[in-house]
Copies of this chain bind each other. A is one copy, B any other.
Amino acid sequence: MGKLSREAIVEAAVRRIDAEGLDGLSMRRVGKDLGVEAMSLYRYVPNKTALLDAIHASVLEEVQIPAPTHDWKSDARRLATSLLDTLLKHPGAMELFPTRPAYTEGSLDRLEASLAILERAGMPEPLRLAAMQSLYLFVVGHALFETHASKVGDDLDYRSLPAGRYPNLRKASVPAARQSFRHGLDVWVRGVEASAPQEEPQSLTSRLRSLRRR
């Protein structure tokens, strides 16, 4: 029965959320998990919203930042996949991601690493933040979609739709979730590539120079 602390509370809350989803999280339950009354938590957390914010930050900090290589495309892909992986590890907590902007230290670190990737990609400055945000939103959205689609039994079969009304949908192929994720990434990577001014890849020396600059 270790001492109560903000971290211990957040930790317990994440466990509860992992086990029973966001709805299973109540102050009373978290308290019980820690062998303590609900109101005792309020000594360390001003209210439930703040606790949710802390959970969000905590999960975000689990995301591994892959070490930069010479290949910005693979760096971007690995960062995105890393984010996807931790999100899928916390199906309940990831519902917090779309609505909470993150200004914690951990999230700034990750944003910084993302922008560095885009710099190496040769993307001009006024676009970088927007491009990164679109990637982030895609990953989070996909993670949500992947976990919620599997709840509906299995996907609706588009082939059983009336052909007259839905010609394109009927012949659409529904890729497996992971593949659909990869395809989405492909579109993004190609989009970034096409937004970089120079068509040819950066020279090796300039690549190394930007890597050395931390």
User: Which A positions have Cβ atoms within 8 angstroms of B?
Assistant: 95, 98-101, 103, 108-109, 111-112, 115-116, 119, 125-131, 133-134, 136-138, 140-142, 144-145, 148-149, 152, 156, 161, 165-169, 171-175, 179-181, 183-184, 186-195, 213-214
Query: Which 3 residue pairs across A and B have the least CB separation, nearest first?
Result: A137-B141, A191-B191, A130-B183
Q: Which residues of B contact A133 (CB under 8 A)?
A: 142, 145, 180, 184
Q: What would 20 more interface pairs be, CB under 8 Å, given A112-B169, A130-B175?
A: A98-B141, A101-B145, A101-B148, A108-B166, A112-B168, A115-B172, A119-B168, A125-B172, A126-B183, A127-B183, A127-B186, A128-B168, A129-B172, A131-B183, A186-B191, A187-B192, A190-B191, A190-B194, A191-B194, A193-B194
Number of copies: 2
**CB < 8 Å: which of B136, B144, B169, B184 contacts A115?**
B169
CB-based contact B184/A144 at 8 Å: no
Chain B proximity of A198: nearest CB distance (Å): 15
**CB < 8 Å: which of B128, B149, B169, B171 contacts A111?**
B169
CB-based contact B195/A144 at 8 Å: no
Q: Which B residue sits closest to A97, measured CB to CB?
A: B98
Q: Which residues of B contact A189 (CB under 8 A)?
A: 191
Complex Cα spacing A51 to B189, Å? 39
Q: Which B residue sits closest to A130, measured CB to CB?
A: B183
Q: Which residues of B contact A175 (CB under 8 A)?
A: 126, 129-130
27 contacts between A and B (CB under 8 A): A101-B145, A101-B148, A103-B152, A108-B166, A112-B165, A112-B166, A115-B168, A125-B171, A126-B175, A127-B186, A129-B173, A130-B180, A130-B187, A131-B183, A131-B184, A133-B142, A134-B138, A137-B137, A137-B138, A137-B140, A137-B145, A141-B141, A167-B213, A186-B191, A188-B188, A191-B191, A191-B192
